[in-house]
Amino acid sequence: MRGIRTKRLGAALLALTAAMVMSAAVMANDCVVDRNHPEASDSNPGTESAPWKTIEHAAQSVKPGDTVYVMEGAYDERVILSQSGTPDKWVTFKAVPKHAAVMRGFDTGKAEYVRIEGFKVTSKNPQLAKKLFTAGIQIRSDHVEVLDNLLCNIFHGIAGNSKRVRVAYNRIYHVQFGLGVSPPAEHWVIEHNEICRIFKYFDMDCDYSRMWGKDLVVRYNRFHGTRRGTTPGEENEVGKAHLDIVQTFAHKEEYSLTNLEFAHNVCFVFSQGLMANSRSHPGNIADLTFRNNIFAAGGAWGLCCHKVHHLKAVNNTFVIGPGAFGVGLRNDSHHGVIENNILCNAGAGAPGLSLMAALPHSIKGNLVHNSKMPPDAGPGEAVKGNPKFADPERRNFRLTRGSPAIDAGEGGRDIGALEYPNVYHVNPRHPGASDDGFGYPGWPFRTVAAALKMAQPGETVILRGGTYRELIAPPTDGVTLRAAEGEKVVVSGDDLIIGWKRMGNGRWSAPLAAKPVLVLKDGKPFSGFTYDGTEKKILVEGFDPRLRAMETVVRSRGIDLAGKENVKVIGLETVSTPAMPLGE
């Protein structure tokens, strides 16, 4: 219990909680675009009561520090940004509610220190986009964040060639190319995204991502879902296209990829996990690190490298299909480090590793099952035996008790991508999160309840930063719950009121199953509502509730450890709400 921090609804925590869930009240330097407002016009001042009609006008009008709230509606616009923020005053374009503002995309132009958050970007005719790097969100400027967007049914998801970019919590769906990072890009962080269902619009290649540049971090992403059946009757939406998780090639001198860290990702259904070819310009692709990733259901290679220098593949799990290979360092690839990987089911007679060069490599502590180590693998050790996955048919690659991978790797570490005893990850903000999964870092649970249902004594559940609106009640003794390092985790007894609809005359309604005991507006008790018990709706007037954190109190507590022993809770905060009325 000592790790739980409980606070009253003080001003600081209220501000934090509101920021985590949605916009707080519109401030003086904020703007509103609402094309469905009956008096919307670009000649308006852009306020809540007199909003602008187009995003384009807002993009031309903003100043450093402004947040543009774009309300629900269909905006037939592709917006080119022109106004920059500053290092301490970013310009933010935020759709409210998330994914309810539908438009044709953004081009950041020369605008720096800008953030694009929560939009749905799509196209009525994806085949009109014929240039490879004409993307739903095109990043041409430095210092850009792209967060929580849904990009679907377009040719290319997100692409750019600039510096200091963060791409996080986006879902990129039904595209021919998911992510594109091209030279001279530097210092990108691509994390907590879902890239799924690659689809062939044109007779050319298809890839989850293509990457060039330097100092790129790609972590906690979920790549999956492409339909590429190979037998009669199975759906195949990419044809014979070569489908890679990451593809890079040094076909020109200016094309290079150096210092890539690819970590804690989940990669299902592909030809190659990595296809890297630097034969034309040896050394242009170098210093690539792949660690703690899961590669499964591949068709050819896990990692395929041609003249790649300094590849490090450490603690990955490769479960590749028949006739496929695990890791290949080919054509004079220099100084590879291949340690503590599981190389499993690489196919009848296919090697887990292929080293087609007599160059120094470090190969240690790998577990090989239904594969073989080739003669050119050198003197490195290999652990033999079945890794004893929990349920490989369902892609549950967690280790079970007695696995030969436990504590058997180089340095006494576990072999493969996942720890034992098990550590389960929860992240409801991750677009690929699912309670049908197994709590991987790149494929987390959506709820804490799902993780606790699976966790056994001695195991750990990690909560990523955010507000959790559920009762946390471990069914098992001896588990540990903790906040991810450096991240704020708040457990609340309140649920958001969503689904607000304009009724006219400044009135709004939202569905609510029962009369609320207590309603909060931006964290403070709010009595200015009525409840229609017949229609099961809550009604307010005089303000736009979509721009506030409107909550109803439904749980008197956030964490219940009654009757449990040896349960540790570390770094979680709970929010206590004002006392409920007597008799409730």
**Same domain (yes/no): 448, 568:** yes
Least trusted range by pLDDT, from 90-94, 102-106, 578-582: 578-582
Reported as a pLDDT band with limits 50, 70 and 90, residue 245 is: very high
Query: Is a pLDDT exceeding 60 seen at residue 10?
Result: no
Q: Using the predicted structure, report yes or no on whether residue 470 has a pLDDT greater than 80.
A: yes
- Predicted confidence at residue 14, as pLDDT, reads 35
Indicate whether 553 pLDDT > 80.
yes
Same domain (yes/no): 429, 471: yes
Which range among 181-190, 235-244, 507-516 shows the weakest confidence by mean pLDDT?
235-244
Q: What are phi and psi of 146, to 5 degrees?
A: -125, 110
DSSP state of 557: -
| 562 and 518 together in one domain | no
Mean pLDDT of 345-354: 55
Burial of 116 (0-12, 13-18, 19+ CB in 10 A): buried
| Residue 529 within a domain | yes
Per residue in 304-322, pLDDT (tens digit) is 888 899 999 999 999 987 6
- Indicate if 511 and 475 belong to the same structural domain: no
> Is 456 among the domain residues?
yes
Q: Is residue 436 part of a domain?
A: yes
Listed in order, strand segments (DSSP E) in 44-113 are 67-74, 78-80, 91-103, 105-107
Predicted local distance difference test score (pLDDT) of residue 584: 32
The number of folded domains in the chain is 2
pLDDT at 23: 42
> Considering the domain boundaries, does residue 372 fall inside one?
no
Question: Are residues 538 and 433 located together in one domain of the fold?
Answer: no
**Is residue 221 assigned to a domain?**
no
Residue 204 pLDDT > 90: no
Per-residue DSSP letter, 128: G
In a shared domain, residues 568 and 470: yes
pLDDT confidence bin for 326, thresholds 50/70/90: confident
- Contact (Cβ atoms closer than 8 angstroms) between residue 482 and residue 570: yes
pLDDT tens digits, one per residue of 484-542:
999 999 999 999 999 999 998 899 999 999 999 999 999 999 999 999 999 999 999 99
Is residue 298 situated within a structural domain?
no
pLDDT, residue 210, reads 97
Quote the tokens at residue 187.
Answer: 């210092």
Q: What's the chain's Rg over C-alpha atoms? A: 26
Q: For residues 427 and 486, state if they share a domain.
A: yes
Q: What average pLDDT does the segment 72-79 reach?
A: 97
Residue 81 DSSP symbol: P
Between residues 347 and 269, the one the model is more confident about? 269
Q: What is the pLDDT of residues 327-341, one digit of tens each?
A: 877 766 778 899 999
Q: Which residue has the tokens 């009762």?
A: 471
446 in the same domain as 433: yes
Residue 121 has pLDDT above 60, yes or no: yes
Does 380 map to a domain? no
Cα four-point dihedral sign 437, 154, 91, 261: positive
pLDDT category at 251 given cuts 50, 70, 90 is confident
Per the structure block, which two tokens stand in for 357?
Answer: 């060069």
Residues 542 and 511 in one domain: yes
CA–CA separation, 361 vs 313, rounded Å? 11
Query: What digits encode the pLDDT tens for the residues 424-460?
Result: 999 999 999 999 999 999 999 999 999 999 999 999 9
pLDDT-derived band at 582, boundaries 50, 70, 90: very low
The alpha carbon of 99 is separated from its chain's Cα centroid by a whole number of angstroms, namely: 15
Ramachandran sector of residue 105 (left: φ over 0; alpha: ψ -120 to 50; beta: rest): left
441 and 466 share a domain? yes
Q: Tell the residue number behind the tokens 């606070």, with chain if given.
A: 7
Residue 279 is predicted with a pLDDT of 81
Q: What is the mean pLDDT of residues 365-392?
A: 75
Statement to judge: residues 565 and 456 lie in one domain: yes
User: What is the domain extent for residue 525?
Assistant: 494-553
**Edge-to-edge strands, sheet with 572-575:** 5-7, 572-575, 489-492, 466-468
Are 41 and 32 contacting, i.e. CB atoms less than 8 angstroms apart? Answer: no
What digits encode the pLDDT tens for the residues 18-45? 334 444 445 557 999 999 999 999 999 9
Checking if the pLDDT of 93 tops 70, the result is: yes
d(CA 69, CA 37): 13
Q: Do 518 and 549 share a domain, yes or no?
A: yes
What whole-number percentage of the chain has pLDDT above 70?
Answer: 86
The residues near 322 (Cβ < 8 Å, ≥ 6 apart) are 345, 347, 348, 350
Residue 20 placed within a domain: no
Mean pLDDT computed over every residue of the chain: 88
In this prediction, residues 185-213 reach a mean pLDDT of 95
